[in-house]
Amino acid sequence: MKAALKPSTAVLNSVADPRALITELEIQHRTAQLSERICADITGGDLVVIAILKGAFMFLADLSRHLEVPVEFDFMAVSSYGDSTKTSGVVRILKDLDTDINGRDVLLVEDIVDSGLTLSYLLRNLEARDPASLELCALLNKKEKRKISLPVKYEGFQVPDIFLVGYGLDYGQNYRNLPYVASLKK
């Protein structure tokens, strides 16, 4: 099975820049730090972690491994970019929560905040459901592109304004499975 994986990785590396902008090791280290901070801040004992699909799936998986508090997971699927590299600014909910978050502590997990339009919409949407608290956690923060101010309490890395793939981030639905974050070659 391992032999079959090697060529596939090589193909990916020939398209995605093999010099990872953020390595697997750096991601794992930072993710563990973020989980520790989140655990230290949680006092209510009724945490709901909501990941935004699709991009946040890998970050959520690693973040959750270190969460040593009672936690429920839920997912929302939204689309603001589709297969385009430019946000439309219009956020569509493709899948809503299964959980009622009223009166509960909510942590919203994203892979990347770019313009901030997606998270801004989601914050308004979730705040209307009256959670006890609502905080944001994003692996990557592209502050240069921000069109709207957002309180990202738990931030993994600040990244420059270049197109990124890997660790959940895609280009045309590809490269999400890379264990690191890389820029896409032109």
- Residue 37 C-beta: closest distance to ligand PRP, Å: 22
Pair of tokens at residue 32: 């563990």
Nearer to ligand PRP, 35 or 115 (CB): 115
Site string for ligand PRP, 28-57 (x = CB under 6 A): ------------------------x-xx--
Q: Is 79 in the site for ligand PRP (CB under 6 A)?
A: yes
- Binding range to ligand PRP, per CB under 6 A, among 16-24, 58-66, 77-85, 129-137: 77-85
Whole-number minimum distance, CB 174 to ligand PRP, in Å? 11
**Nearest to ligand PRP of 33, 174 (CB atom):** 174
**Binding status of residue 170 toward ligand PRP by CB under 6 A:** yes
User: Looking at 105, 111, 114, 170, which residue is catalytic?
Assistant: 114
Q: What tokens were used for 171?
A: 């280009």
Q: Is 114 a catalytic residue?
A: yes
> With helix as H, strand as E and coil as C, how does the chain read?
CHHHHHHHHHHHHHHECCCCCECHHHHHHHHHHHHHHHHHHCCCCCEEEEEEECCCHHHHHHHHHCCCCCEEEEEEEEECCCCCCCCCCCCEEEECCCCCCCCCEEEEEEEEECCCHHHHHHHHHHHCCCCCEEEEEEEEECHHHCCCCCCCCEEEEECCCCCEEECCECECCECCCCCCEEEECC
> How many residues make contact with ligand PRP (CB under 6 A)?
18
Footprint (CB under 6 A) of ligand PRP, residues 115-154:
115-119
Residues that bind ligand PRP (CB under 6 A): 52, 54-55, 79-81, 87, 110-119, 170
